[in-house]
Amino acid sequence: MTTSRRKFIKISALGLGGVAATTSAINMFGANSYLDNLVKQDLTKNFKRTATYCEVCFWKCAAWTHTNEKGEIKKIIGNDDDPHCYGRLCPRGTGGVGMYNDEDRLKTPLIRTTINGEQTFREATWEEALDLIASKVNNIKENNGPESIALLKHGSPGKHLEQLFKAWGSDTFAEPAYAQCRGGRETGFATTFGSWIGSPEPTDIRDTNCLVLIGSHFGENMHNSPVQEMSDAIDKGATIITVDPRLSTAASKSKHWLAIKPGTDIALMLAWMNVLIEEGLYDKEYVEKYGLGFDKLKDHVKTFTPEWAYGITTIKPEDIRKTAREMGKAAPAVIIHPGRHVSWYGDDAQRERAMAMLNGLLGSWGRRGGFYFKESIKVPSYPLPKFPTPKWGWKEIGAKYPLAQMGLTFEVIKASIPNPENKYPVKAWFVSGVNLPKSIPNKKLLEEAMDNLEFMVVVDTMPMDVTGYADVVLPECTYLERYDHIRSANNREPSIALRMPAVAPKYDSKPAWWIAKQIGERTGVGNYFPYNDFKEVIEWQLKKMGTSLEEMEKIGVKNFPRKSRPLFLRDNENYEFGTQSGKIEFYSQELKDLGFDPMPVYTKHPEPPQGFYRLNYGRAPMHTFSRTANNPNLHELKKENDLWVNPKVARIMDIKQGQRVWLRNQDGVNSVFSIKVRVTERIRWDSVYMVHGFGHDNKKLSRAYGKGINDTQLISSVMVDPIMGGTGMRGNFVEILTENPNTNTEI
Amino acid sequence: MQEELFTSGRHIPNIDPYLQIWHWPISVYLFLGGLAAGILFFAALFYLMGKEKEYPTVVKNATIIVPIALTLGLLALLYDLTHKIYFWQLYTNFRIESPMSWGAWVLLAVTPLSFLWVFSYYSVLFPKLENKFQLLTKFKFLKSFEVYLKENRKYMAYALIPLTLILGVYTGILLSAFNARPLWNNAILGPLFLVSGLSTGAATIILMAKTSAEKHLFSKIDVGLVIIELALIAHMIMGYYAGSQVQLEAMQLLVAGDFTVMFFGFVVILGLIVPLIIEVIELMGFKVPVSIPAILILIGGLVFRFVMVEAGQLTRFLY
Amino acid sequence: MRYAMVIDTLKCVGCSDCVVACQTENDVPLGYCRDWIVETVNGTYPTVNLELKSERCNHCDNAPCVRCCPTGASYVADGGNIMVTPDECIGCGACIQSCPYDARYQHPDGWVDKCTFCNHRLEKGQLPACVSVCPTKCMYFGDLDNPNSEVSQLLKTRKHKTLAPEAGTKPHVFYLI
Ligand SMILES: Nc1nc2c(c(=O)[nH]1)N[C@H]1C(S)=C(S)[C@@H](COP(=O)(O)OP(=O)(O)OC[C@H]3O[C@@H](n4cnc5c(=O)[nH]c(N)nc54)[C@H](O)[C@@H]3O)O[C@H]1N2
Ligand SMILES: Nc1nc2c(c(=O)[nH]1)N[C@H]1C(S)=C(S)[C@@H](COP(=O)(O)OP(=O)(O)OC[C@H]3O[C@@H](n4cnc5c(=O)[nH]c(N)nc54)[C@H](O)[C@@H]3O)O[C@H]1N2
Ligand code: SF4
Ligand code: SF4
Ligand code: SF4
Ligand code: SF4
Ligand code: SF4
Ligand SMILES: [Mo]
């Protein structure tokens, strides 16, 4: 049974046929209900539809904001033409109205002052705040160079501030979406296929025969189109194999759930490769044609039998064989999904490489039901003066990690702590769209860095944990109240999407483009902002692309035909991969030359000491990291995270369902708040699990404050990936405390 | 291990576990309704049996309670409605399948009748009042109305017997009609509430009775009613016991749960068995103040309704 | 015409989009809900089974809530949808007590509210809000009287269940299992 778009329309048409009957029957009996009338009126009120794309996470689904005549945002509905959402937003996108409506939002600029020896914020005018920022920036620029001002950003506001920084001559940028998120996979796949995965992932899930999820928990990870396509794949009877120590939602939908021992995935993948090769299940023609170093790989995995892996992963050899055969049978329409948040154990680039190599063996790269060749359309750059060249920047700061392809937050943080050996001292931060204390592990290090900054500006929409550390806080309006850059996405077909304000900014909040321009003008780089309204930029760009703002306001999303090449490899194509050799590198000379293992090897990771449990974390479908915890609509759905505990553990510890407990990690860090226990068979006995993003300690968040535990706080031990600098966060262990360990708690 | 939980939605404060939307007024309403039905039933019955002279409390004095009880009961009901301004909708509709509707209409019939009944005894019951305000003397039509009612008492009584029985049964059926609440959903509840209502009515009469003959007779009647009530309760419990899983769980609430002390302690023992024993002792000729069992029965009756209303709302089909 | 909803538990991920969408579509006040998600876990690690399902009023064929309503505020609308007329509802709560699924709640304005199958949308030829947003497309809606409708076909070809069938209400929300 499939649900194609066509069928969906059919149902609606069928409903339409019923309308005549419905209304006439109602009229006949005179039973026209008050509610019907009420809602009918509501609908005939004709909500105004405004194009936007969602900013509740970084999937950026295109949508329509619906506003009533009172100018209230009532609902947000996906744009049918958008390949990111196919007309259906995820719960967070639907609940995006709460981002706008949240009465706890930042309302005015805030400046740190000291009153009676107590540090506090005072409300300030934009003039005042911007002038203060300008004078500080000018000062630091002069004394230390613009490079020493770092931009830590994530999401849409980042791009506007980047323009400001580049105008100053700084590219000291970093975002958590690299070292705390996808970095490892980009390197793992780049060293194998010569190509990044990027976002959105070019996975042809809807046509796959076999989807292998290694820790990716779609269904909880609510990235929209893959969840939709996974559902299509279920309809089509695709085999889903999930490797996860926890019964994730995806695992519960899978034909095979391999309940792996945490941290042993590389061993499993080596064993899979062993089976694929030994049993001749791999795509010989493809490997022959495109592969490099297959023989070396064959030798390498010879001893990594399922029996060998069993002792490490606790997955039975027959299950390893069975699943490898399923993959072989499905190939090349098989996806070993690269995952997304992959900074787990510090050997993540290698684990991702193993995934890439499995895809290589199965011939799924460039094949229907595997990975497609993505394409996007270039948005022409608005004419600006040439930017000065920074003397140093993110690259130099992260130079220790040879294959880091983006700024490393963690290294920027380290560079901000005074140290005579540091050639690249960072003095000030602009933080925008990153809730640092929740996104970056090792809070002690982070706080030390922030302590040492000369100046810190936070641009945010909400009074989050990070705003509390700022010298100046600037309130940005939400995505529903502003223009932003045109979204140009990599997909099967190129597409662009428009974001425009549905309503005027609430309170005294302003869009990031305006903030960047204002600061630019005050710091002598106003010529890099040659427009009064960002709308002018978009208008210009759209015109260049053969459309117009007017058209885009009506359609929201525009799809363009593919130009680059076919979606998949042609039968007798001689495709050249982006690697040094032009081949799929099963053996990586590049890694070898850099002193790393040319092929992944399994290394043992630390295990929980007696009385401790491994801290596992993940997503809840209705929340995005820490940003939605206070969203009135989404808070309603899930108010706090809970601590998943296996019944065996609960019995040993004598803890009950719903009991409140505290946690202490291996370094003696106590959780600030308590968490409710959920006793469940979905979790192993050596781990506990919680959803990331709760335990807010900013009291200004009236709903989220004090609810649940912040997992990041307990991640003090970080396993840094030597190849690309990712911060592995899954090697922390906690003990469960039934008494509040905090002596002077203030609630 | 089996686990069942709300991922989202229902665990929000206004819904779960707060679906207990009926509060104390409903229990009071059911209690007062039953009590009023009981008194009025006996009044009509004894009037028709021609015992007006012999048992004046039953036929006359005790009925003063009835319009007051019914009015208070209706106010209590109204108080617990959440969309009160549409209260009148009850009387623009008669829904034959809705016990609530039946109740509304029966009350609409019984309450005025109870006022008329009392009014027909106005001169007898309230001579002091009449002396002071001279209502009947001032307003001639009132006097003739009283006379008219007096002459037609018989017909009122004929109407009241079935109506009060319906009212009494209704207080139970209102609950038992909900098959979604396993504790309520049994056929015994109608008769049980009727008998309990009659018993509380009898207890009120005992309390108000002037003559020992009246007290004695109603002690006897009450003994009979209490015995029936105990039998019905036993039957009800057995019914749960033989029922489905949800009913077994419902029974647990009464016999081995949060309501056990209330139910067995206050309803069965203090509210039924103890007064039964005292009444029997009294009937055997020992000197015991009969008001004690009567008060116990009234308290027991009230607690019984509280227990049934509260506990019933805790019992569910799902979750 | 007999409307029915069919929900595929093999696809539902319990994301609760249907809950938020209902809230924004129908102005369900915060703190209340017309639909909700239930998670059921059975087994012992690592042999565990998880079921997620989105629940709401079942628009029962044999609806006790309509029967027990003293004013007729609860009624059977065209297509078998069970509806409530707010200005006929006195807020007596009888219907809430009668629903084995606890699908109804007292609206803060006093009347009783619950899922309407988005009657107002059906009249415009649109699918219910929850159905139209569900990211896994695990909810189907249509006419059970039409043997060719998607819902009829699904019930013909797939194993399914209803909730608490022993309550005898003949629900019209079906779960594919
Ligand atoms: N609802 C929602 N969806 C989101 C987001 C959100 O905030 N909210 N964020 C988005 C972003 S930016 C990202 S990066 C993605 C992240 O989403 P994913 O990449 O899917 O998630 P991870 O956090 O890597 O993985 C979490 C899963 O890994 C399992 N796991 C833990 N340890 C191990 C192990 O040793 N081996 C294996 N095989 N599995 C393990 C956990 O049990 C859990 O099920 O989600 C995206 N989607
Ligand atoms: N412990 C732990 N740490 C993690 C992860 C984890 O799973 N566990 N996941 C990692 C991953 S995969 C990622 S991608 C990162 C994500 O890290 P972040 O992007 O930092 O995630 P959020 O917690 O959502 O913080 C976003 C901040 O942006 C603000 N914001 C939201 N919208 C806007 C806007 O329109 N304008 C402005 N100016 N600000 C806005 C929010 O209020 C919030 O303060 O976290 C990483 N860190
Ligand atoms: S996946 Fe959800 S939260 Fe993310 S952009 Fe799309 S609708 Fe918004
Ligand atoms: S929206 Fe769909 S997938 Fe999500 S919980 Fe509701 S029914 Fe399940
Ligand atoms: S589910 Fe409950 S409210 Fe809905 S029709 Fe059935 S009994 Fe009535
Ligand atoms: S609460 Fe309203 S809809 Fe429900 S039974 Fe009473 S009057 Fe009818
Ligand atoms: S059908 Fe409409 S009213 Fe019913 S749960 Fe879905 S969205 Fe809500
Ligand atoms: Mo991420």
Judgement on whether residues A579 and A692 belong to the same structural domain of the protein = no
pLDDT of residue C51: 97
Q: Is residue B179 part of a domain?
A: yes
Domain count, chain B: 1
Asked whether the predicted pLDDT for residue A11 surpasses 80, the reply is no
Judgement on whether residues A357 and A270 belong to the same structural domain of the protein = yes
Judgement on whether residues A585 and A705 belong to the same structural domain of the protein = no
Does ligand 4 lie within 6 Å of residue C138's CB atom? yes
Across the range C147-171, mean pLDDT stands at 94
- Residues of chain C found within 8 Å of residue A7, distances taken between Cβ atoms: 150
What is the A99 CA–ligand 7 centroid distance (Å)?
A: 23
The CATH fold of domain C3-176: Alpha-Beta Plaits (3.30.70)
Nearest CB to B3 within list A622, A638, A680: A680
- Residues of chain A found within 8 Å of residue B3, distances taken between Cβ atoms: 679-681
Closest chain C residue by Cα to residue B25? C92
- Are A127 and A407 in contact by the 8 Å Cβ rule? The answer is no
Confidence of residue B15 (pLDDT cuts 50, 70, 90): low
CATH value at residue A717:
2.40.40.20
Nearest-Cα distance to chain C for A220, in Å, is: 7
Contact between B1 and A681 using a beta-carbon 8 Å cutoff: yes
Judgement on whether residues A198 and A340 belong to the same structural domain of the protein = yes
Which residue is listed with tokens 């027959």?
Answer: A318
Nearest-Cα distance to chain B for A691, in Å, is: 13
Rounded CA gap, B87 and C164, in Å? 33
Write the burial class of residue C13 (CB in 10 Å: 0-12 exposed, 13-18 middle, 19+ buried). Answer: buried
Across the range A187-205, mean pLDDT stands at 96
Share of chain A above pLDDT 70, in %: 93
Domain end among A593, A622, A639? A593
Asked whether the predicted pLDDT for residue B222 surpasses 70, the reply is yes
What backbone phi and psi angles, to 5 degrees, belong to C7? -125, 125
Across the range B5-23, mean pLDDT stands at 74
- Residues of chain C found within 8 Å of residue A25, distances taken between Cβ atoms: 78
What is the A438 CA–ligand 7 centroid distance (Å)?
A: 35
The β-bridge partners of A212 are: A241, A336
Q: Which of A682, A681, A686, A680 is nearest to A734 (CA)?
A: A686
Nearest-Cα distance to chain B for A681, in Å, is: 7
Helices (H), B81-152: 99-120, 122-125, 127-133, 135-138, 140-151
Q: Is residue A175 part of a domain?
A: no
Q: Which residue has the higher pLDDT, A640 or A30?
A: A640
The β-bridge partners of A489 are: A495
What is the A432 CA–ligand 8 centroid distance (Å)?
A: 16
Q: Which atom of ligand 4 is nearest to the CA of C13?
A: 3
**374-433 in A: which are within 8 Å (CB) of C?**
none
Write the pLDDT tens digit of every residue in C110-140.
999 999 999 999 999 999 999 999 999 999 9
Write the pLDDT tens digit of every residue in A342-363.
999 999 999 999 999 999 999 9
Q: What is the mean pLDDT of chain C?
A: 95
Judgement on whether residues A588 and A656 belong to the same structural domain of the protein = no
Asked whether the predicted pLDDT for residue A289 surpasses 90, the reply is yes
Across the range A158-173, mean pLDDT stands at 97
Confidence of residue A19 (pLDDT cuts 50, 70, 90): very low
Contact between C91 and B81 using a beta-carbon 8 Å cutoff: yes
Helices (H), A461-548: 512-522, 534-544
Write the pLDDT tens digit of every residue in A372-395.
999 999 999 999 999 999 999 999
Does ligand 5 lie within 6 Å of residue C73's CB atom? no
Across the range A403-421, mean pLDDT stands at 95
Least confident of A741-745, B234-238, C69-73, C158-162: A741-745
Least confident of A439-453, B21-35, B276-290: B276-290
Contact between A637 and C44 using a beta-carbon 8 Å cutoff: no
Q: Is residue A702 part of a domain?
A: yes
- Residues of chain C found within 8 Å of residue A680, distances taken between Cβ atoms: 41
Judgement on whether residues A303 and A265 belong to the same structural domain of the protein = yes
Q: Which of A283, A462, A420, A422 is nearest to A357 (CA)?
A: A283
Asked whether the predicted pLDDT for residue A499 surpasses 90, the reply is yes
Asked whether the predicted pLDDT for residue A684 surpasses 90, the reply is yes
Give nearest CA residue, ligand 5 atom 2.
C99
Q: Is residue B8 part of a domain?
A: no
Judgement on whether residues A209 and A241 belong to the same structural domain of the protein = yes
Q: Is residue A315 part of a domain?
A: yes
Contact between C40 and B95 using a beta-carbon 8 Å cutoff: no
Mutate to test the pocket of ligand 6, among B89, B95, B100 (most ligand atoms within 8 A of CB): B100
Does ligand 5 lie within 6 Å of residue C9's CB atom? no
Burial profile A305-319: b = 16 or more Cβ within 10 angstroms, e = fewer: bbebbbebbbbebeb
Judgement on whether residues A225 and A349 belong to the same structural domain of the protein = yes
Contact between C90 and B181 using a beta-carbon 8 Å cutoff: no
Nearest-Cα distance to chain B for C148, in Å, is: 33
- Are B26 and B189 in contact by the 8 Å Cβ rule? The answer is no
Confidence of residue A22 (pLDDT cuts 50, 70, 90): very low
What is the C25 CA–ligand 7 centroid distance (Å)?
A: 8
Rounded CA gap, A575 and B262, in Å? 82
- Are A88 and A80 in contact by the 8 Å Cβ rule? The answer is no
Q: Which of C51, C162, C12 is nearest to A235 (CA)?
A: C12
Q: Is residue B6 part of a domain?
A: no
What is the C118 CA–ligand 5 centroid distance (Å)?
A: 15
pLDDT of residue B290: 82
Residue B89: which domain range? 14-312
Domain count, chain A: 2
pLDDT of residue B287: 83
Write the pLDDT tens digit of every residue in A451-492.
999 999 999 999 999 999 999 999 999 999 999 999 999 999
Write the pLDDT tens digit of every residue in C86-108.
999 999 999 999 999 999 999 99
Helix axes A265-278, A348-362, angle to 10 degrees: 20
pLDDT of residue A218: 97
> How many C-beta neighbours within 10 Å does residue A12 have?
18
Q: Is residue A731 part of a domain?
A: yes
Q: Is residue B221 part of a domain?
A: yes
Across the range C48-60, mean pLDDT stands at 97
DSSP state of A403: T
Write out residues with Cβ below 6 Å of ligand 2: A 55, 154-157, 176-177, 180-181, 341, 432-435, 438-439, 459-462, 464, 466, 476, 478-479, 512, 617, 624-627, 692-693, 711-712, 715, 729
Across the range B245-249, mean pLDDT stands at 87
Confidence of residue A37 (pLDDT cuts 50, 70, 90): very low
pTM, to two decimals: 0.92
Contact between C35 and B9 using a beta-carbon 8 Å cutoff: yes
pLDDT of residue A24: 33
Q: Is residue B3 part of a domain?
A: no
Asked whether the predicted pLDDT for residue B179 surpasses 70, the reply is yes
Share of chain C above pLDDT 70, in %: 100
Residue A347: which domain range? 180-373+575-593
CATH value at residue B262:
1.20.1630.10
Confidence of residue B212 (pLDDT cuts 50, 70, 90): confident
Asked whether the predicted pLDDT for residue A711 surpasses 80, the reply is yes
* Domains of chain C by residue range: 3-176
**88-107 in A: which are within 8 Å (CB) of C?**
88-91, 94-95, 97
Write the pLDDT tens digit of every residue in C21-41.
999 999 999 989 999 999 999
Write the burial class of residue A521 (CB in 10 Å: 0-12 exposed, 13-18 middle, 19+ buried). Answer: middle
Judgement on whether residues A587 and A675 belong to the same structural domain of the protein = no
Nearest CB to B83 within list C43, C91, C105: C91
Q: Is residue B285 part of a domain?
A: yes
Whether the CB of A236 is below 8 Å from some CB of chain C: the reply is no
Q: What is the dihedral of CA A457, A388, A172, A124, to 10 degrees?
A: 0
pLDDT of residue B20: 77
Rounded CA gap, A478 and A173, in Å? 23
Q: Is residue A34 part of a domain?
A: no
Which residue is listed with tokens 């209260």?
Answer: B87
Confidence of residue B157 (pLDDT cuts 50, 70, 90): very high
Share of chain A above pLDDT 90, in %: 91
| ipTM for the complex shown | 0.91
Mutate to test the interface with C, among A7, A22, A244, A257 (most CBs of C within 10 A): A22
Rounded CA gap, A486 and A676, in Å? 42
Q: Which of B210, B169, B150, B151 is nearest to B41 (CA)?
A: B169
The β-bridge partners of C175 are: C7, C161
Q: Is residue A291 part of a domain?
A: yes
Contact between C36 and B98 using a beta-carbon 8 Å cutoff: no
pLDDT of residue C14: 97
Nearest-Cα distance to chain C for B167, in Å, is: 16
